[in-house]
Structure 1
């Protein structure tokens, strides 16, 4: 199969790419409901409440997988809703949406090859570098630096069109203003520390581990069936990550909404070139190739 779904019957293609609001809204309600539960536990602070902190953080940072889908405008039938959700998540995880969309499109155009902006980070050749990356600290440092560059007009990669750049710069200034006001609330209340800052710091390593499996150690070739990995995992993890463990499927047909990816997977499973039987197994194999 080529890197498209063009060879499928027209009726099958139409069913796969059909967008709808209901599945996305239902899934989002469940995700936000889980965040509400953990957030309530943290706020009320019953015995052992602190155990909810990393769970709360994982739930928040994994909204990135929905923001990622919103760049393609597939999780909801409404473009406006996709953009609104994408901006809201960007605020929560320091990932400005107007910048991220062209960044992600460049990743799709040059997946795991020269020109892929995801390859611009340090190569994780050693376990020490892997550990530093997985800590999440480089992510937060990178995003803060990105916001400053955007806000000051110094972020101009080739893949960021000039027409979008000016809007992305304004977005960054708004985000910085919001973050400044949010941090000022810490002078009289620790609420944001426990409901947002600390959980996100604790949850980010889980997202880093998850994201490494998407393309880590895949061949740097043009074939999407080889440069991307699908990871077989539990239903709970697939729900948390908005079905993005079906990552070859997503790259094969990014116009397919998250809730249709299992159906696409069923059609192409026997053609997948790179897979992993789980995230623990991927991590073990990944570390085995490092010193």
Structure 2
């Protein structure tokens, strides 16, 4: 699947964000906290079910439990994304609390993710653009490589090894009370706080599991994270900008939308409507399908489903 040149639909060139926003300004509404609370409740219930199954003795229960936990860890990261944009709850502090908790399973600092991600929205289309999750060949622009190099690149992406290494390095910096490069003193302070919370939960879980002579932390956290959540999260994020025109500042050129079924739209928390999200980052997640209906004829990078997208990616189309 090679990067395509920008070809706008009949009727002209790029509409630009101001034009789009002026056309769809009627979609702007206040954040509905009730919808997010329901999402949190469902995620918590499914996570609890997964933990219950993973702690059962029969392997026939542990495997689906581990799978469900990993899926919910990845889903929680998508809910965290909504919170960092201030689109979950109406209160900023409440969004931060929810975001911190949602990031614990996948070792994601809410404040670090928020700071980096908001800059990503600002800088996408320029050489200054950086993503929070580092997958190495971030957008699939590297030239010809050996089969070994290609295999290693995909292994690094779907294992999310760079993320775990970055978490370890950031945790060490936080424990030492250091500032974080490129961040203000207040943001660095919040990033340290997030790492203290995650480390406390992680170390407490390991200590309790060891004291109880149980492998619970392995089944309920380590295996779901490494074997399921990491690869699934990487798969959710891959289509966003992969092999798009990421040095163009036009969201229709640098971002991809995937119109999927209701289950996947819920699971990715609307992340499939990614062009729409970059056009209007502060639009409530629940209204992205309506924005999609307004702009779908202008989309350049578009797929009707995740299966089709990954099938074509594997085929090299």
Do both proteins adopt the same fold according to a TM-score greater than 0.5, normalized to the shorter chain? yes
Partner of 2:119: 106
1:155 CA displacement? 5.6
Q: Does 1:176 align with 2:199?
A: yes
Partner of 2:237: 211
C-alpha spacing 1:62/1:9, structure 2 compared with 1 (3 Å): closer
1:241 CA displacement? 1.3
Partner of 2:309: 282
1:47 CA displacement? 6.0
C-alpha RMSD of matched pairs (Å): 2.3
- What SS does structure 2 have at the residue aligned with 1:202? helix
8 Å Cα contact 2:257/2:303 also seen in 1: yes
1:276 CA displacement? 2.0
Describe the superposition over 1:58-93 as per-residue Cα deviations: whole angstroms up to 9, x where unpaired. Answer: 111221111111111102223232111101012222
1:254 CA displacement? 0.9
Gaps of 5+ in 1: none
- Counterpart pick for 1:129 among 153, 157, 171: 153
Q: Does 1:247 align with 2:274?
A: yes
CA distance in 1, matches of 2:35, 2:123: 30
Partner of 2:38: 26
Partner of 2:29: 17
1:154 CA displacement? 5.1
C-alpha spacing 1:121/1:193, structure 2 compared with 1 (3 Å): closer
State the TM-score, normalizing by the size of structure 1: 0.88
Please list, as runs of the form range in 1=range in 2, the aligned pairs for 1:62-211 lying within 5 A after superposition: 62-111=75-124, 113-118=126-131, 121-123=135-137, 125=142, 126-153=150-177, 156-158=180-182, 160-187=183-210, 188=212, 189-203=214-228, 204-211=230-237
Partner of 2:9: none
CA distance in 2, matches of 1:279, 1:48: 28
8 Å Cα contact 1:31/1:240 also seen in 2: no
- Counterpart pick for 1:258 among 277, 285, 289: 285
Partner of 1:238: 265
Partner of 2:23: 8
8 Å Cα contact 2:135/2:160 also seen in 1: no
1:248 CA displacement? 0.8
Q: Does 1:51 align with 2:66?
A: no
1:182 CA displacement? 2.1
State the TM-score, normalizing by the size of structure 2: 0.82
CA distance in 2, matches of 1:171, 1:255: 24
CA distance in 2, matches of 1:90, 1:116: 23
8 Å Cα contact 2:100/2:194 also seen in 1: no
8 Å Cα contact 2:273/2:289 also seen in 1: yes
More helix by share: 1
8 Å Cα contact 1:94/1:144 also seen in 2: no
- What SS does structure 2 have at the residue aligned with 1:63? helix
- What SS does structure 2 have at the residue aligned with 1:118? coil
Describe the superposition over 1:89-148 as per-residue Cα deviations: whole angstroms up to 9, x where unpaired. Answer: 122221111111111111111125311222965225424311331123333223222322
8 Å Cα contact 1:224/1:251 also seen in 2: yes
1:272 CA displacement? 1.5
CA distance in 2, matches of 1:49, 1:147: 34
CA distance in 2, matches of 1:109, 1:58: 30
